[in-house]
Amino acid sequence: MYEKVNGEINTSAVHVVDLRSDTISKPTPEMREAMATAVVGDDVFGEDPTVAELERRSAELLGKEDAVFVASGTMANLIAIMVHCSQRGSEIISGDNGHTFRFEQGGPAQIAGVQASLIRNNSDGTFSLDELRDRIRKNPDCHEPYTTLVIIENTHNMCGGKVLPLDWIEKVKNISKEYNIPVHMDGARVMNAAVYLKVPVERVVRDVDTVCFCLSKGLGAPIGSILAGSKTFVDKARRTRKVLGGGWRQAGIIAAAGLVALDKMIDRLQEDHDHILQIARGISDMKSKTFQVDLSGVQTNILMMYLDKSIITAKEVQKRLASVFETDEVKVCVKTSSRDAGVIRFVTYWEISDQDVTAAVKKLQLVIREIDNRHN
């Protein structure tokens, strides 16, 4: 991608590498073609054959009885919580760094009326199983809420795209099952997890009752997520989607892109993982004291770069990465995201090419060298 960056430079075009999120990925030409020719109908009447096909194929891929196409990952998680926790006075157990808790506007509390009980996330996206068992309300008396759901996240976004170990997921299931509590997987990027583990995604989600994944992230589709589970669960989810305003009409137009995503965009995710590792190596090679990555912990398409915020904040570094000055020998603008002054996040997706990665590494090294020189 080449475009002019405001301000600093206007003499030549600048190479922009946008690593803020995989949600930025645009539909592929094949998706646009499929969208243009999709056979559609009114999906609220159950008459859109393309949506039906996407739901059927998704359920099959996940090894679940049924699936429903929804507007977003946030909506998928909210619906799952509303269906699992329909009883008032419900409590969910999840990791404290989970997307449903941190970045969904408190929807579980705000809309579903559910309280969260949080266990500190380990750096690999898991949490303590002993604590899980402790926190489950056993035969709650009139003082306590009912534990109605356990949520796990795979891959774990804020833990840097970590893939949950399969045996840990199985243990979560076994503990939850003892108390008859279902497990929901926020699998926004669960396809990345399957590619990393080199197993069918069906295996990754085997031990959870319900799971959602985003078509609109690394899979490149423009809009939408899938929520899957038992037939009874999905029937209720469909009903809940409607009250949230998510009953849509000729949604086959976008489901068509989702079908291309399932066919063409899963196996290629390895390329995104390779790219993120290349960026991690580029940072690690600098042996900087201020900027660190956990090279051996890089697994999928997300990388966290940790910085010493007593020296410089993420905001300042991000600004420098995105700026290009006349005097810079590297004319590259790298866009990144951050939720914390001490961390910068990089995410790769299908439009990020080998050339983009090489350029981004050059720019990162330039900025790290510059800041290290200034502070040593």
Ligand X SMILES: *Cc1c(COP(=O)(O)O)cnc(C)c1O
Contact footprint for ligand X (CB under 6 A):
72-74, 77, 99, 153, 157, 186, 188, 214, 216, 225
CA distance 58 to 241: 18
Nearer residue to ligand X within complex by CB, 74 or 90: 74
Q: How far is the CB of 81 from ligand X (least distance, A)?
A: 12
CA distance 34 to 23: 20
CA distance 302 to 125: 13
Q: How far is the CB of 178 from ligand X (least distance, A)?
A: 27
Q: How far is the CB of 74 from ligand X (least distance, A)?
A: 3
Contact indicator for 368, 291 with CB cutoff of 8 Å: yes
Nearer residue to ligand X within complex by CB, 301 or 318: 301
Contact indicator for 230, 182 with CB cutoff of 8 Å: no
- Cα 318–chain centre separation: 21
Nearer residue to ligand X within complex by CB, 225 or 299: 225
3-state DSSP call for residue 107?
helix
CA distance 20 to 55: 29
Nearer residue to ligand X within complex by CB, 159 or 321: 159
Closest-approach residue to ligand X (CB)? 73
Which regions of 255-360 does DSSP assign to beta strands (E)?
291-292, 302-307, 332-335, 337-340, 343-347
3-state DSSP call for residue 145?
coil
Q: How far is the CB of 105 from ligand X (least distance, A)?
A: 10
Closest C-alpha among 196, 224, 223, 199 to residue 212: 224
Q: How many CB atoms lie within 10 A of CB 354?
A: 11
Nearer residue to ligand X within complex by CB, 80 or 305: 80
Angle at 197 (CA atoms; ends 192, 199), nearest 5 degrees: 95
Q: How far is the CB of 157 from ligand X (least distance, A)?
A: 4
Nearer residue to ligand X within complex by CB, 192 or 290: 192
The pair phi, psi for residue 183, each rounded to 5°, is -120, 130
Contact indicator for 138, 145 with CB cutoff of 8 Å: no
Q: How far is the CB of 281 from ligand X (least distance, A)?
A: 24
Q: How far is the CB of 330 from ligand X (least distance, A)?
A: 30
Nearer residue to ligand X within complex by CB, 28 or 157: 157
Nearer residue to ligand X within complex by CB, 244 or 286: 244
The pair phi, psi for residue 177, each rounded to 5°, is -65, -35
Parallel, antiparallel, or unpaired: how do β-strands 14-18 and 2-3 relate? antiparallel
Nearer residue to ligand X within complex by CB, 331 or 345: 345
Q: How far is the CB of 153 from ligand X (least distance, A)?
A: 5
- For 194, counting Cβ atoms within 10 Å of its Cβ (0-12 exposed, 13-18 middle, 19+ buried), the class is buried
Q: How many CB atoms lie within 10 A of CB 250?
A: 17
Nearer residue to ligand X within complex by CB, 154 or 290: 154
User: In the chain, how many H helices and how many E strands?
Assistant: 14, 14
Q: How far is the CB of 3 from ligand X (least distance, A)?
A: 25
Q: How far is the CB of 23 from ligand X (least distance, A)?
A: 6
**Residue type present at position 233:** F
Q: Which residues pair with 17 in a beta bridge?
A: 334
